[in-house]
Amino acid sequence: MKRIDFLSLVNNFKVVFLDSYGVLKNHEGLIDGVPQTIDYLRNQGIIIKILTNDASRSRQQQADLFKSLGLNGLTSSQIITSGTLARHFLEDKKIKGKIAYLGTENAAEYILHIDRDSIPIGEIDLENCDDISAFVFLDDEGFDWNVDINKVINLLRMKNIPVVVANSDKMYPVSPRDVAVGTGGIAKLVENILNRKFIHFGKPDSQMFMYAYNQLLSEGDYTKNEILMVGDTLHTDILGGNKFGLHTVLVLTGNTRESAVETLVSATGIIPDYICKSIVH
């Protein structure tokens, strides 16, 4: 666990995997200096991929959002989201029938983006739901918490169908002070009530790393040793990166504060290879 400047560290690698929130941006927009770092990486010929737990937007929408914030040149194929993996899962399983979901219509359109029927939880008639064959937790918006969480529970009590959590983050920051319950937190509540385990997508699970790595192998010859995983959260970015066999660096521009690093690393046993203040210097 060495303290080091990011720009001197990164030159030892051919590829960087970057978390998005807390590394590239925060609630106010891009973190100062990030566009310069991205330019530097490009100039050095270092390949960039972004791995983000998110299922509210399509990869193209993510790229467009970065552009609108002032970070140009990211293509949709560079951005790997947990929602992408959930969609591939549903496609691979060739599920027949309707897919029910909790979340926004936009998420359903772009994440499930399916030449098939999908139906938001609010429109389901529990007396008449034989045709529903899978359920997806997509987003923490787009429904009425007072009513629809109970409806999900009662649907899943009746129907033993595959349930997918397209973003396993329990919470996310909404301001320097406040957080909000995320898709993964709602899913956890439902799992807890039903005493069941759903299929979760997103870091720290290996699936997202594997997807990014396989994509990388289709572009050239790389070993895991040549990849640096950059994140602000021990339990997702660093745990996942470590387990996948990547070198990992914890940055302090997001979830993990400088003053808490030592305590947290020691309490969790999740040890990044390096610690950097930010990706800017």
Compare residues 32 and 267 and give the one whose CB is closer to a copy of itself: 267
Compare residues 72 and 225 and give the one whose CB is closer to a copy of itself: 225
Residue 172 CB contacts under 8 Å (≥ 6 apart), including other chains: 21, 179, 180, 182
The SS3 call for residue 18 is strand
| Torsion of the alpha carbons at 166, 168, 170 and 172, rounded to the nearest 10 | -70
Smallest separation (angstroms) from a copy of itself to the CB of 5: 21
Question: 72: buried, middle or exposed (CB in 10 Å: 19+, 13-18, 0-12)?
Answer: exposed
Nearest CA among 237, 273, 281 for reference residue 256: 237
Binding site for a copy of itself (CB under 8 A): 88-89, 92-94, 126, 144-146, 149-150, 153-154, 156-158, 160-163, 170-171, 177-181, 185, 188-189, 192-199, 205-207, 210, 214, 224-225, 239, 242-246, 263, 265-271
Smallest separation (angstroms) from a copy of itself to the CB of 200: 8
Compare residues 1 and 39 and give the one whose CB is closer to a copy of itself: 1
Smallest separation (angstroms) from a copy of itself to the CB of 73: 30
- CA distances for 120 relative to 6, 89, 101, 129, angstroms: 44, 19, 5, 12
Smallest separation (angstroms) from a copy of itself to the CB of 277: 21
Compare residues 69 and 114 and give the one whose CB is closer to a copy of itself: 114
Compare residues 94 and 123 and give the one whose CB is closer to a copy of itself: 94
Q: Where are the beta strands (DSSP E) in 87-166?
A: 98-102, 118-120, 132-137, 163-165
Smallest separation (angstroms) from a copy of itself to the CB of 188: 6
